[in-house]
Chain A
Amino acid sequence: AQSVTQLDSQVPVFEEAPVELRCNYSSSVSVYLFWYVQYPNQGLQLLLKYLSGSTLVESINGFEAEFNKSQTSFHLRKPSVHISDTAEYFCAVSRGGSNYKLTFGKGTLLTVNP
C-alpha cells in the first residue's frame, strides 16, 4: 500500500515571495509522483509529474518539484508566486504499470496575498 502526506494544510505567502509545498510518500515499490492544482470551483489539473530520469521536473508556469528517493519526498517550489497561484495543491502517488489508481494527499491551500 502507498500513502501521501502533505505536511501543511495551509500556506499563506506574499506576492513575489518564494514558496515550498511539502509532500512525503511511502511505498514499497517504485512509484510515479504527481502534483495537481485546483483553482476555486474547478476540477483538478495536472501540474507536473515525475516518472523516471531527472529528479527535477518543471511545469510551464514556473513551478518545479524535486524527487528525493532517500527522503521519500516530492516537494513543490516556486521562486516567486503571483496572486493567480492561489489554489489548492494536491500531491499524488501511483505504482507504475497498468490499472493502478492514484493515492492523493489531503491538499495544501496556497493563498498569495498582495
Chain B
Amino acid sequence: DVKVTQSSRYLVKRTGEKVFLECVQDMDHENMFWYRQDPGLGLRLIYFSYDVKMKEKGDIPEGYSVSREKKERFSLILESASTNQTSMYLCASRQTVALYGYTFGSGTRLTVV
C-alpha cells in the first residue's frame, strides 16, 4: 500500500514560532499537496507540487511556504505561526495522472497558542 507519513500527529506551538510540517510518501508519486481542514470549511488547498523543486500556490497560501527538495518529501512551513493557523493539516500525494486520486496522510493537528 502507498503510505503517506506525516511526521507529527499533534503539535503545539507558540505564536511567532517558525513551524515545519513534514510529509513523506514512499511510492514515487510526482504530485504532492498540502490542505488544511477546518469545521464547516472542508479542505482548502494551501500549496501543491507537481514534481521536485516545483510548487504552486493553492487557494490560501498566505502565511505559508513549502519546500520540495526530494521527490518523496514535501514540507509545509509556517513562517511565523499565528492563532488563526490552528487547524488540521493534511498531506496527500498522487501519480501524475488524475484518475488515480489522492492518498492522504493521517493529518497533523496543529494548535498555536
Contacts and interface: CB of A to CB of B under 8 A. Distances in A.
Contacts of A107: 42-43
A100 B42 contact: no
A49 B101 CA distance: 8
Interface in B85-109: 90, 92, 96-99, 101-107
Nearest to A99: B50
Contacts of A95: 98
A11 interface: no
B12 to A, nearest CB: 16
A96 B97 CA distance: 8
Interface centre among A34, A94, A95, A102 (most CB of B within 10 A): A102
A106 interface: yes
A99 B42 contact: no
A42 interface: yes
Contacts of A41: 107
A44 B94 CA distance: 13
B87 to A, nearest CB: 14
Nearest to B102: A102
| Interface range for A | 20 to 34
A4 to B, nearest CB: 9
Contacts of A96: 98-99
Contact of B97 (A42, A46, A97, A105): A97
A56 interface: no
Contacts of B103: 46
B95 to A, nearest CB: 9
A67 interface: no
A90 B35 CA distance: 14
A51 interface: yes
A32 interface: yes
B41 A34 contact: no
A44 B97 contact: no
5 contacts: A32-B98, A43-B4, A44-B43, A97-B98, A101-B48
Interface of A: 9, 32, 34, 36, 41-46, 49, 51, 90, 94-102, 104-107
